Structure 1
Amino acid sequence: MARTLLALLVPEAEPVVGSFRELYDPSARRGLGAHITLIYPFIDSELLTPGLLARVRDVAAELPAPMFRLAEVRTFPSVVWLAPEPSKPLVHIATALERAFPDHPKGGGAFPDFVPHLSVARNVQQEKTAVINELQARLADHGPIYGWCESLSLLVSENRRWREWASYPFLY
């Protein structure tokens, strides 16, 4: 049995955030690239049936592919992250998934409000200010990161490594 995740992969962010994520995000060291989580945990891999996978496919097929930019650094208490703008299309995708899978709320249900974000550094305390400053400097040099996710990804964690199990294209 393995955990699964529904997410939007954002490879365009890797040149800016990849080295931070390698240092400060354990999921990066386990093979998970830059991403925006929609539902985690999703459904244990043993429970993924053809019907369930078809439901994920159908949800994605009804939604437009989200386009966004990442230009603003924000924080949660121990997380440094990039804010996608506009965020409304991402909330719409997460809400559609939550309607299709009510037992698996967006964001895993751990927080009262779903906030789309691309985590750059997790579990940071003392180094948080330095990470924020360096990330802001990189964004100033690079400019905003533009993302266009053509598909929704279902990822699975097996043997402490993440891999893409399936990809579901959006409407357009």
Structure 2
Amino acid sequence: MVRPPAHTVLVVPVPELERFVRERTEHYDASFLSADPAFVHAHITVLGPFLPAPSAADLDLVAAIAAGVPAFDFRLERLGEFPDGIIHLLPDPDTSFRELTRRLVAAFPQCPPYGGAFPEPIPHLTLDQRAAGIDPESVRAALGAELPARCRADRIALHRYANHDCRVLADWKLA
């Protein structure tokens, strides 16, 4: 089995949906469950993939960006599905997520969102993948009372993803 290489991603953790996302991660590939207590599997990506080995200057630049963006509230209730079958939640409003991504891309143009696959990335929280018996309606039912989720974005985390080694590399508070 060929394992994907380790990669880093800048995310906004969403602890309100950690139970569900952690269970789905375990279902699909338990090697991506993190033993790091600071790691939150439920997240909204603001830039990924990020640098494979960020320097101290790179980390300082992310810290400066985080310090320039006020913490913000958002709500997760509206389900979406991408053409590849990824079932997700769309944050409302999404403007602060888009602004974070814009600032990070301006600072790190060598790291286009999703490797440049999507010119206008859509902020989202991945929940599941369409398959037999799994569709947006079944996912909504499985989430039950967890929706709507009222959330607060108060930090950016730098996650490292690798089989059996998912962890937080750095963490910055939003202003």
The answer, yes or no, to whether TM exceeds 0.5 is yes
Q: Which of 73, 78, 88 does residue 95 from structure 2 map onto? A: 88
Matched residues, number: 165
**Match of residue 165, structure 2, among 161, 164, 170:** 161
Q: Cα offset for 1:23?
A: 2.4
Q: What CA distance in whole angstroms lies between the structure 2 residues aligned with 1:97 and 1:148? A: 20
| Superposed CA offset, 1:35-89 (max 9, x none) | 11111110012xx211111001001100111321100111012200011100111
Equivalence for 2:27: 23
Distance in 1 (CA, whole Å) between partners of 2:6 and 2:141 is 38
Question: Counterpart of 1:142?
Answer: 146
Q: Does 1:74 align with 2:84?
A: no
- The residue identity in structure 2 corresponding to 1:11 is P
Instruction: State the alpha-carbon separation in 2 of the partners of residues 125 and 143 from structure 1.
Output: 22
Matches within 5 A, 1:23-172: 23-24=27-28, 26=29, 29-31=32-34, 33-45=41-53, 48-77=54-83, 78-122=85-129, 124-129=130-135, 132-139=136-143, 141-171=145-175
Give 1:120 shift: 0.5
Retained in 1: the 8 A contact 2:22–2:33?
Answer: no
Identical aligned residues as a percent: 30
How far 1:22 moved relative to its partner? 3.1
Q: What is the CA-CA distance between 1:149 and the residue it aligns to? A: 1.9
SS in 1 for 2:171: strand
Separation in 2, partners of 1:36, 1:159: 20
- C-alpha distance in structure 1 between counterparts of 2:127 and 2:148, whole Å: 15
Which is helix-richer, 1 or 2? Answer: 1
Comparing 54-63 with 149-158, greater Cα deviation is found at 149-158
The reply to whether residue 7 of structure 1 matches residue 15 of structure 2 is no
Q: Extract unaligned runs of 5+ from structure 1.
A: none
Code of the residue aligned with 1:119 in structure 2: it is T
Q: Give the secondary-structure state (helix, strand or coil) at the position aligned to 1:99.
A: helix
- Runs (4+) off by over 4 Å: none
Q: TM-score, normalised by structure 2?
A: 0.83
Q: CA deviation at 1:16?
A: 4.4
Q: Quick check: 2:10–2:156 contact (8 Å CA) kept in 1?
A: yes
CA spacing shift, 1:28–1:86, aligned 2, 3 Å: farther
The verdict on how the C-alpha distance between 1:118 and 1:148 changes in structure 2, with shifts beyond 3 A counting, is: same
